[in-house]
Amino acid sequence: MSNSNPKPPLIGINVAIFAGLPLIALVLIPVWGIYRGFDAFQWLWALAFLYLNGMSITGGYHRLWSHKAYEASPVLKWLYAFWGAGALQNSILVWASDHRRHHRYVDDNELDPYSAGRGLWFSHMGWMLREYRSGEPDFSNAKDLERDPIVVWQHRNYVALTLVMNLGLPLLLGIWHGDIIGTLLLVGLLRLVVNHHVTFFINSLAHFWGSRPYTESNSARDNGFLAFLTYGEGYHNFHHIFQTDYRNGIRWWQWDPTKWMINACSRLGLAHNLNRVPDFRIQRALLDTEFERARTRLQTAHNSDSLRQLLEREYLEFTESINQWTALQGQRYERTKEQLGGVLEEKKLCLQQKWEKAALRTRLKELEYSLKMQRKRLGLLMEQLQLQAQAA
């Protein structure tokens, strides 16, 4: 930045937390480790705290409060509110309203509070260290949260809560264990610093490093390695296009402990109305991106008229599938509305209606499958293009 446009002033408390604490940790923890050592009790409790804090941010602050990807019982919400405060990343209200702005204005350097367009450092933690205009609190996008008594209570009592969770609890553990300083260093300090940075990776690295299978309209990326560090939030390209899905890693094998936790909670009756984006829409996004890529590649390729024709034919079929799917969804919606509106007075669905419902479902599944097959064909087309480029 030039001198005529000086950097905004530093925020003292944030500099102390985000720069001071890691420096203290870097010095004190190895020294204590060498001279006094840590034991399994302390390591295990640090790990437990790390996951309780981390998953309260991802499952609570993020997927529940910022995106309403599911509904949670009060017990679960209280747990999130306490352990989330322990993550020392501000209150639910501030966090979620910032995050909603991040989604709405992603990559906009003026309006996205942690825009990746301003660089890796800024999006990781630079944005919290100075009084940037893009970071000014504005709760106009969080009216629903201002009506949630748990959110309001946590916001009002945030400082006390975070002190209890970060100092009080590790102190009690230390007294119980007979090593106050060692426990404070590991369960209090190291756990806090590690959790800070792995969560920050979602705003920084997950916008720079990885693939973009669902959309190239923003910088968010899918990265399995980051998902492992971030409690499942590394499938960030998927998340930015389908933010109301309670999952980030949608395949069963994709590492997303937050999704598994929400699922387990729903089995225990602690969470309900888990929102899943229909598979068709996911396939559609994948195909859309692939068509876009194929078109760009074909534009510069020589002697590829036949491939171009093939691509356009596939694209027509794709549009047709989408139209059919939209029409079928419309029918489905009408049926549900009729049933809910009491137009169909019978309490039980008669055979005819059941049959229609099943037929509709089958047709939707068929369309989903047809998109999957199209992706395979598109893959072959791209391979052919690659071969031609190599031969040329």
Q: Smallest distance, Å, CB 62 to Zn ion?
A: 6
Length of the chain: 392
By C-beta, is 78 or 208 nearer to Zn ion?
A: 208
Q: Smallest distance, Å, CB 392 to Zn ion?
A: 39
Q: What is the dihedral of CA 165, 166, 171, 174, to 10 degrees?
A: 110
Q: What is the DSSP string of 44-85?
A: HHHHHHHHHHHHIIIIIIIIIIIT--SEE-HHHHHHHHHHHH
Residue 195-214 contact track with Zn ion, rule CB under 5 A, x = bound: --------------------
CB-neighbour burial class of residue 246 (10 A; exposed 0-12, middle 13-18, buried 19+): buried
Which two tokens mark 323?
């139209």
Q: What is the DSSP string of 253-291?
A: TS--HHHHHHHHHHHTTSEE------HHHHHHHHHHHHH
By C-beta, is 197 or 297 nearer to Zn ion?
A: 197
* DSSP at 360: H
CA distance 279 to 272: 20
- Under rule CB under 5 A, which residues in 220-249 are in contact with Zn ion? 220
Task: Put residue 37 in one of left, alpha, beta given phi > 0 → left and psi -120 to 50 → alpha.
Answer: left
Q: Smallest distance, Å, CB 218 to Zn ion?
A: 8
Binding span for Zn ion by CB under 5 A among 28-36, 89-97, 121-129, 216-224: 216-224
Q: Smallest distance, Å, CB 282 to Zn ion?
A: 17
By C-beta, is 220 or 294 nearer to Zn ion?
A: 220
Q: How many residues bind Zn ion (CB under 5 A)?
A: 1
CA distance 83 to 67: 19
Q: Smallest distance, Å, CB 172 to Zn ion?
A: 34
| Beta-carbon count within 10 A of 175 CB | 11
By C-beta, is 25 or 87 nearer to Zn ion?
A: 87
By C-beta, is 50 or 69 nearer to Zn ion?
A: 69
Q: Smallest distance, Å, CB 66 to Zn ion?
A: 6
By C-beta, is 57 or 220 nearer to Zn ion?
A: 220
Closest chain position to Zn ion (CB): 220
By C-beta, is 220 or 381 nearer to Zn ion?
A: 220
- Under rule CB under 5 A, which residues in 123-162 are in contact with Zn ion? none
Q: Smallest distance, Å, CB 106 to Zn ion?
A: 6
Binding span for Zn ion by CB under 5 A among 219-227, 252-260, 316-324, 350-358: 219-227
Binding site for Zn ion (CB under 5 A): 220
